[in-house]
């Protein structure tokens, strides 16, 4: 069974600085997709970024980028120029084929002004 592990329950960063959230996963498959979701206090889950496992190039979305290390089964999220609106729970998630999304435990990110 696939598993996703986020080893940092909480992280904090100063506004305008860079922070990296860690995620590792376990699978025997070679074709799959990885996601980072953001859940602000409003509770609405928002898709931040998506990575296809067959692509070696790391995905980027404005200030958000990932470091995808397929051999190490690692998928970290880097947030550059952190803003107060980035404060949220962040979930790493994995999906393979037509299977269900599997989520990590979440990391609560605090932005210090």
Binding residues for other proteins (CB under 8 A): 4, 6, 9, 33, 35, 37, 42-45, 47, 50, 52, 91, 93, 95, 97-98, 100-106
Q: How far is the CB of 59 from other proteins (least distance, A)?
A: 12
Query: Of 16 and 46, which CB lies nearer to other proteins in the complex structure?
Result: 46
Q: How far is the CB of 57 from other proteins (least distance, A)?
A: 17
Classify each residue of 65-98 as buried b or exposed e, where b means 16 or more C-beta atoms within 10 Å of its C-beta.
bbebeeeebebbbbbeebeeebbbbbbbbbebee
Query: Of 54 and 63, which CB lies nearer to other proteins in the complex structure?
Result: 54
Q: Are 111 and 86 in contact (CB under 8 A)?
A: yes
Q: Are 91 and 101 in contact (CB under 8 A)?
A: no
CA 110 to chain centroid: 15
Q: How far is the CB of 99 from other proteins (least distance, A)?
A: 9
Query: Of 30 and 113, which CB lies nearer to other proteins in the complex structure?
Result: 30
């Amino acid at each position: 069974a696939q598993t996703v592990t986020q080893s940092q329950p909480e992280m904090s960063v100063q506004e305008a600085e860079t922070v990296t959230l860690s995620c590792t996963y376990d699978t025997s498959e070679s074709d799959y997709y990885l996601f980072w979701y953001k859940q602000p206090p409003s509770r609405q889950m928002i898709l931040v970024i998506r990575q296809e496992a067959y692509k070696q190039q790391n995905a980027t979305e404005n200030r958000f980028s990932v470091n995808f290390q397929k051999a190490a089964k690692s998928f970290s999220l880097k947030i550059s120029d952190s803003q107060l609106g980035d404060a949220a729970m962040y979930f790493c998630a994995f999906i393979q084929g037509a299977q269900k999304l599997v989520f990590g435990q979440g990391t609560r990110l605090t932005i210090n002004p």
